Amino acid sequence: MTDNSRFNNALEKITQDGDQITDDMRQMLAVDTCFPPGNGYAQFADLMTQLLAPMKFSFQRVSVPQHLWQAPDGSAHGERVNLLASLDAGAAENCNLYFHTDTVPAGDGWRFSPLALTEAEGKLFGRGAADMKGTIVAAMAAIRAAQACDLPLRFNPVFLLCTDEEGGLYPGIRYLAEQQHFAGHLLSFNGGAVPRIWSGCFGSIDLKVIITGRSAHSGDPVNGINAIESALPLMNALYQLKAEVEQRTSAMPAPPHYHGKPLTSRLTLAAAHGGSKGSTLPERFELLINRRYAPEETFDAVWQELTLCVHNAMQGSAALDVTLQMIGHLAPVSDPVGPHWPRWQAALSQGFGFNAEEFKPWGSSTSSDMGWVQQAGIQEILLGGLARPDNRIHAADEYTTMADVMALSQSILAYLADDFQQPQGS
């Protein structure tokens, strides 16, 4: 795409940077930033400051006030430290590179240690390898290559290393956007290694319902109230609502693997907790409901529908108390395409070898904290990343590959580089 020697030398430099890439990833995976609870953010910010300082970045730490992020169930704890790392490259415009630093908990079923980098089977295994600490590693490799080759940049890169994307009540990027801690356009790495033009995504609500009964001996349950059995009408009502909700379609283009079927709203009974032993009536039962809602729906209408379902189902119940807690909310993203997208598509083609005709617009019923960025006034959001359908994001043995990390790094380098010439008409 260009015959500029410095640019080509920088691209080549990335392919020679495997040892540093693996060392950076090893250090990042070793810091447990799982959410919940999310109490590793300060330690991760310390590590990133250590890794980026030799590259001449400057730093600002911004903590989200506790009253904004503290969920009613107490599942979140620890300081919500967001790190802004800025590099003055002498450019006229900033490009904000967004990364969420939290991961989901490791979970069960791993063949390898989830908090260590394991190189096996031609893959890089570890919790966060693809989602999304590996993307931070890729961006760092791009900046290293640019500096090693004295490559002028069109944009000043600003790393936004943010908290609580994985279902939190108040994600860090929301606070940074609302408080106007950054300016310029935004490139999010919460996407995939695919030729995709992002059309947006659904919103997500996590609602916890807590039903309180009265414990008693199960063999002599005088005056006892079984909290689990009291919840059966609610679970039936929610399952009926699920069937209704999932008939609602969105005009947002669906992913290729939907094979022409539309995106639909979703309701999931995601977790249930109650009881301790067979001889005791359970006094408390907790039900977690996840509701994915399309940009065509409004939060107020979705929330009213959910809470009304709970109220109607539990009317006349013997339960002593029914408490509702919203413990997570991400707003939907709508039409994030803007003037920087053609350059980013060309940069992805440079790194991953995509052809221009491969790019298709599609959204998803998964969710992102970028909805809050749009509500704060930034409409255009570029999207890339390391996600692929088979690399087990949010599951045991999550992995990425060195080839994908290097390809993403080359894409970032191309986008940032002043010497990068995108093809005419792209």
Same domain, 213 and 137: no
β-strand 81-86 against 196-212: which pairing, if any?
unpaired
Domain presence at residue 99: yes
* Tens-place pLDDT, residues 121-159: 999 999 999 999 999 999 999 999 999 999 999 999 999
- CATH classification of the domain holding 242: 3.30.70.360
DSSP line for 170-227: S-HHHHHHHTT---SEEEEEEEESS-EEEEEEEEEEEEEEEEE-B--BTTB-TT-B-H
Three-class secondary structure of residue 381 per DSSP = strand
CATH number at residue 31: 3.40.630.10
The structural domain count of the chain equals 2
Tracing tokens 């970045």 back to the chain, one arrives at 57
Vertex 127: Cα angle to 16 and 328 (nearest 5)? 130
Q: 376 and 325, same structural domain?
A: no
Give, as one character, the DSSP assignment of residue 422.
Answer: P
Contact, 411 vs 351, CB < 8 A? yes
Same domain assignment for residues 387 and 258: no
Query: Is position 241 within any domain?
Result: yes
Do 216 and 171 lie in one domain? The reply is: no
Rounded distance, CA 253 to CA 362, Å?
5
From first to last of its 426 residues, the chain has per-residue pLDDT tens of 444 899 999 999 999 999 999 999 999 999 999 999 999 999 999 999 999 999 999 999 999 999 999 988 888 999 999 999 999 999 999 999 999 999 999 999 999 999 999 999 999 999 999 999 999 999 999 999 999 999 999 999 999 999 999 977 899 999 999 999 999 899 999 999 999 999 999 999 999 999 999 999 999 999 999 999 999 999 999 999 999 999 999 999 999 999 999 999 999 999 999 999 999 999 999 999 999 999 999 999 999 999 999 999 999 999 999 999 999 899 999 999 999 999 999 999 999 999 999 999 999 999 999 999 999 999 999 999 999 989 999 999 999 999 999 999 999 999 999 989 877 655
Judge whether 275 and 282 are in contact, CB under 8 Å. yes
My answer on whether 35 and 162 are in the same domain is yes
Residue type, 312: N
Please name the residue ranges forming H helices in 3-120: 5-15, 18-29, 41-52, 66-69
Contacts of 284 (CB under 8 A, 6+ apart): 210, 211, 212, 213, 227, 274
Structure tokens at 61: 């730490």
**Over 74-102, what HEC string results?**
CCCCCCCEEEEEECCCCCCEEEEEEEECC
Same-domain pairing of 92 and 137 = yes
Residue 264 lies in a domain: yes
Which residues form the domain of 264? 202-330
Choosing from 283, 314, 330, the residue where a domain stops is: 330
Rounded-to-integer distance, Cα 410 and Cα 347, Å: 8
Measure the CA angle with vertex 418, ends 414 and 421; round to 5°: 65
Residues 315 and 393 in one domain: no
CB 33 within 8 A of CB 101: yes
Q: Are strands 196-212 and 399-400 parallel, antiparallel or unpaired?
A: unpaired
